[in-house]
C-alpha cells in the first residue's frame, strides 16, 4: 500500500479551493437602476421616476452605516466620483428620506438622468452605484 503525503494533499486541496473561490465569502455586487422610466422613453410630463437598489439597504441621510445609503437623481449630469459630496441644486436632486419614487417636473426636451447612490452624508459611492438613462419629455 502506498503512503499518502498529507502535506502535499492539503496543499493541493488549498490550491483547488482558492482557484474555485470556495471557502471565500462572495459579496453580491451592488447596483442601482431606474425601473421607471425606461431608457429611451418619450414621456408627457411630469416624469414619474421609480428607483431601485440591490445589494445595499436604503436608509435616510444623516448617519453613515456600511452597506446603506439613499438615492439622488442628477439631471443632465455625469455620475459623481466616489467619496465626493453631491451638491444640492436643481441638477442634483436629493432623496435623503429614503424615497424610492419621485416626480420630476421637467419642461419639454431631451434629458440625461443619472441615478446616483450615496451614503448618509451624501458622499457618492461612485460610478459603480449609478445608472444613466436618456428620455424625451414632450409637451403635456
In whole angstroms, how large is the CA radius of gyration of the chain?
Answer: 22
Region 65-70: mean pLDDT is 96
Q: Is 73 or 25 the better-scoring residue by pLDDT?
A: 73
Whether 88 has a pLDDT exceeding 80, the answer reads yes
CATH architecture assignment, domain 31-138: Sandwich (2.60)
Inter-CA distances, 84 with 44, 80, 117, Å: 33, 7, 12
| pLDDT (0 to 100) of residue 9 | 44
**What is the domain partition of the chain in residue ranges?**
31-138
High-pLDDT (> 70) share of the chain, %: 80
State pLDDT tens for residues 90-135. 999 999 999 999 999 999 999 999 999 999 999 999 999 999 999 9
Q: Rounded mean pLDDT of 8-20?
A: 46
Residue 45 pLDDT level (bands cut at 50, 70, 90): confident
Contacts of 49 (CB under 8 A, 6+ apart): 34, 36, 37, 73, 101, 102, 103, 104, 113
Q: Which three cell numbers stand for residue 90?
A: 436643481
Strands 92-95 and 47-54, by their bridges, are unpaired
Please name which of 46, 49, 65 lies closest in space to residue 57, comparing C-alpha atoms: 65
Amino acid at each position: 500500500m502506498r503512503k499518502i503525503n498529507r502535506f502535499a494533499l492539503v496543499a493541493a486541496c488549498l490550491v483547488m479551493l482558492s482557484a474555485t473561490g470556495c471557502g471565500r465569502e462572495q459579496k453580491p455586487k451592488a447596483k442601482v437602476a431606474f425601473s421607471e422610466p425606461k431608457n429611451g422613453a418619450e414621456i408627457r410630463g411630469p416624469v414619474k421616476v421609480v428607483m431601485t437598489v440591490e445589494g445595499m439597504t436604503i436608509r435616510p441621510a444623516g448617519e453613515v452605516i456600511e452597506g446603506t445609503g439613499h438615492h439622488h437623481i442628477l439631471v443632465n449630469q455625469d455620475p459623481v466620483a466616489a467619496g465626493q459630496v453631491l451638491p444640492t441644486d436643481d441638477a442634483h436632486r436629493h432623496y435623503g428620506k429614503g424615497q424610492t419614487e419621485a416626480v420630476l417636473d421637467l419642461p419639454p426636451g431631451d434629458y440625461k438622468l443619472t441615478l446616483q447612490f450615496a451614503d448618509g452624508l451624501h458622499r457618492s459611492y461612485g460610478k459603480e452605484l449609478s445608472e444613466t438613462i436618456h428620455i424625451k419629455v414632450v409637451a403635456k
